[in-house]
Copies of this chain bind each other. A is one copy, B any other.
Amino acid sequence: MILAIDVGGTKMAAALVAPDGAVRRTRRLATPQDADAETLWKTLLTLIEPYDGFSGVGVGCGGPMAWPSGEVSPLNIPGWRGFPLGERLAARFPGRPVRVHNDAICLAVAEHWKGHGRGRANMLGMVVSTGVGGGLILGDRLVNGGTGNAGHVGHVIVEPGGPSCGCGGHGCLEAVARGPALVAWAQEQGWTPSRAEGTAGPYREDREATGQMLAADARRGDPVARAALSRAGHALGLAIASATHLCDLDVVTIGGGLAQSGELLFGPLERTLREHARMDFARRLSVVPALLGQEAGLVGAAALLLGGDRYWAV
């Protein structure tokens, strides 16, 4: 049994994960906002305090981080800058292995271990959400690269001379296809979120538009919202074509909110991919929505230990 921990800017989650990947006793706490490093650490200790009977600890955390030490500086947790999360957990659980990796890596690993990447040796697992991240598995093993940062598919360049990116560069896939960028683009084209049936809470003109609202409006047929998803699909298709030419992939999985948009996203994605990936080895690639849902981060964190040396090689 592995104690799995998933640390994000909004919430922290933990669970016990069995060797077969079954997730038990999941607990969640809100990540304290504007908290200092020790307050955040105490929240994490509160979260994991009830667990026992585990042989190791796997953690997915927002990047960037120093890998493999697990010294983390999550972009959306400002209180942790160079926080020695791996070291602290190792001191808390002496004698038990602790493995910390990027949360996007954990999602890819989960999808490879128990999702649509199962049995496929060469996979890129992507997440399209507030950011665009990923993890790369080649020859049936997680690729870490020189510093544990391989898999940053969100920064494959899809629009040279294009929009500025949070990474400091420009024209990156993430700069075009992340939810907030799509929302901003749609708003520039005149889109405002419609009064959605089933939307929680009263309709307010000034509520903040989100990627979910954009996707919902696209499903209702709003032409600008559809064009925004098409724009994302096109950018994803370009990045995936480049990735498979470089890595000769078997499968790409796409998770995150936007991947729920079905044909509205995957249709344009496939069209662009097929226009650019013409050689036999690239044509064979399949691109599918991720299978695993909310617990994928925990499953992947546990797989860092439960996957043998497939997902952890230092």
Contacts and interface: CB of A to CB of B under 8 A. Distances in A.
Interface residues of A, number: 52
Given A64-B279, A276-B157, A313-B139, A249 B169 contact: no
Contacts of A141: 139
B139 A277 contact: no
Given A143-B139, A145-B122, A246 B151 contact: yes
B281 A145 contact: yes
B279 A150 contact: no
Task: State the number of copies, please.
Answer: 2
Interface string A142-157: 0111111111111111
Interface string A290-314: 0000000000000000000000010
Contact of A157 (B158, B167, B281): B158
Interface in A137-182: 138-139, 141, 143-160, 167-172
B149 A281 contact: yes
Given A152-B279, A158-B160, A121 B146 contact: yes
A145 B169 CA distance: 28
A168 B122 CA distance: 24
Contacts of A313: 139
Interface stretch (A18-26, A44-52, A187-195, A236-244): A236-244
A139 B151 CA distance: 14
B170 A276 contact: yes
Interface string A45-76: 00000000000000000001000000000000
Given A157-B276, A168-B278, A238-B160, A139 B144 contact: yes
Interface in A217-256: 238-239, 241-243, 245-250
B248 A147 contact: yes
Given A139-B144, A157-B238, A243-B246, A277 B149 contact: no
Nearest to A141: B139
